[in-house]
Chain A
Amino acid sequence: MNVAAAIFVDGLIDASWLFIVAVGLTLVFGVLNILNFAHGSLFAVGAYTAASAVGWYYGGNFGPAFLGYFVMLGAALLVAVAMGPLLERGVLRLFYRRDEVVIVLVTYALFLILEDATKLIWGVNPYYAYEPYGLLGNVSVFGLSYVGYDFALVGLALLTGVLLWLGLNRTISGKVVLAVIHDRDISGAMGVNVTRVFVVAFTFGVFLAALGGAFTAPKISVQPGISISVILLSFAVVVIGGLGSVEGAAIAALIVGLARAAAIHLMPSAELFIVYLVMALVLALRPEGLFQRTTTRKI
């Protein structure tokens, strides 16, 4: 019983940050039709920026401790505004007419470049941003003690999901984005500024990656290599849920989170293996992922 409860809670916590990152990846795929391998690097950039900002904030004694969370949010926003338009307008735009596999390779090249760029800027030594982690005290669930921050993260994931869903389905600009996802040529013909939707959607995707990174930073040591594990996991989540589906990303993040937690508790050596096993099983049964509508084959 205790183990089951631990798996459930750990899986939920794991799923929360995974969802935030993966939903950004799925949004970018939905709108721009790009499977962005550099998404993990943007997560890393977000984590590094937040760790530096948090270190600066708590080092200087600027104000009340809880404002550190807003510093982290600001760091994520900064990364998004700086990197999103730069990458989309500066690089990706040049490759839109090409095969989707070629664009995957382009983002892979971006991943390599960003990986070295982060090493050049922040060095190879780990960063710790532990201050915000302890602020919310401890919570006891099913007789197990957890750090309150972890549950705040679950709340943040829920908030992100709900806001994103409402934004896409209940606002005019959200519906414009959905129209572009559905058919970019027709939306363009109807007067939608597709270019602007692309820039905004990509920047928002970068923001979600950086947000995930920024709020995960206090839990981990921020060091080179985190981007790879993040892209591998969020990639699996997005494929399981169905490329471009927000609901799918939520369910898949839960599945992957629970599967990983179960593996860690019961069979630690199978951690990465189990994620990809789930992915292969889902793909074998439903190649489009759990939540993707089957599209008719274009002749």
Chain B
Amino acid sequence: MTGRVGTLGAALLAFAALALLGRILPHWFVLVATLAFAKGLVALGLVVLMRGGLVSFGQGIFFCAGGYAAGLAMRSLGVTDAVLLVALGGALALILGLIIAPLLAGYRGIFFATLTLALSMIAYGILDKTYSLGGSDGLNLQAPTFLTYQPQTSQEVSYALFVLASLLTAVAAALCRIHFDSIRGLLSLAARDNEIRVEYLGASVRWVSGTNFIISSLLGGIGGALAALSLGHIDPDFAFWTTSGEFVFLAILSGYASVTAVFVAAVLLELVRSFSSQYFPNTWQGALGIFLLLVILFLPEGLGSLVRRRRRTAVKPAPKPVESVK
């Protein structure tokens, strides 16, 4: 119990620190960090899946669903409240996840990955040609309001969005940590190691994978709505496979050991992207590719492994790996 309270407390502290930092940090960094947190939320959902041994190459579909839900609610219903828009984005993605999860829960490995990719590309194909939703140009969003607070300048809007993103990030990270340490969360790790053993323990791997998928869809939708608000724009590229590939990269970059690492990785990636697009405007994709290769080569367990390794050596020696029965 103290563990949970401690986690939540740490999350609130992190949120307070971030909110203060946002006042000091330059404007461009606040913008970059908001987008990074939005994408980090989606990647966090992917980490939830990856702990269960599944990798989705189509998280873009939930990212896109969240973004479009926010965009359409703003355009058609006149909702400008950011909190409500993010909730709507999360809700639509969650519904989508609830529909898809039973279909996908039985698939594993590369088949799960390709099927999710196919679904997100179908969404892309539909949105790209749906001219009532803006077609390939997408939709523009106006500046949001925040409950009763109506920011006047664009600086204030982006700071308020940053605070909202930080809050959601901190809460989501804490809840995921608690989920990971719960029995169901640990079952995911067990399913990743050996599904049949989990079934013999009396648990359902299908159920575990399905739940993880639904959690990841909710996080994807929230991230999508946040990203749409911070960019002020939404287009079908949100569901394109390169977007989904970026989330997979983020999840691999951070590893599945630490939830904080996801957001550190997201900020790092956004920074690399902004700097390389500024300094190598024609070759920034290539620069990103090289960065990707180097990270995969030299950090096989992700950024999170750095933290974990240090903590282990500081507190107690690493436990001897148990010989696995294969």
Contacts and interface: CB of A to CB of B under 8 A. Distances in A.
B241 interface: yes
B111 A287 contact: yes
Interface in B202-261: 241-242, 245, 248-249, 252
B105 to A, nearest CB: 13
A105 B289 contact: no
Given A98-B300, A105-B248, A115 B286 contact: yes
A101 B54 CA distance: 10
B249 A105 contact: yes
A135 interface: no
A299 B324 CA distance: 11
Please classify the interface of chain B as helix (H, G, I), strand (E, B), loop, or mixed, using the class held by over half of its residues: helix
Given A112-B285, A299-B326, A280 B292 contact: no
Interface string B279-292: 00011111011101
Given A105-B249, A108-B245, A113-B289, A273 B126 contact: yes
A241 B286 CA distance: 32
A270 B300 CA distance: 40
Given A105-B252, A273-B129, A288-B111, A120 B283 contact: yes
B293 interface: yes
Nearest to B125: A273
Given A276-B118, A279-B118, A299-B326, A284 B103 contact: yes
A102 B300 CA distance: 9
A119 B114 CA distance: 29
A79 interface: no
Contacts of A279: 114, 118
Contacts of A277: 122
11 contacts: A91-B293, A102-B252, A102-B296, A106-B292, A108-B249, A109-B289, A115-B286, A116-B282, A270-B129, A276-B121, A299-B194
Given A105-B252, A113-B290, 12 more contacts: A98-B300, A101-B248, A106-B293, A115-B286, A116-B283, A119-B283, A271-B125, A272-B125, A280-B115, A283-B114, A287-B107, A288-B111
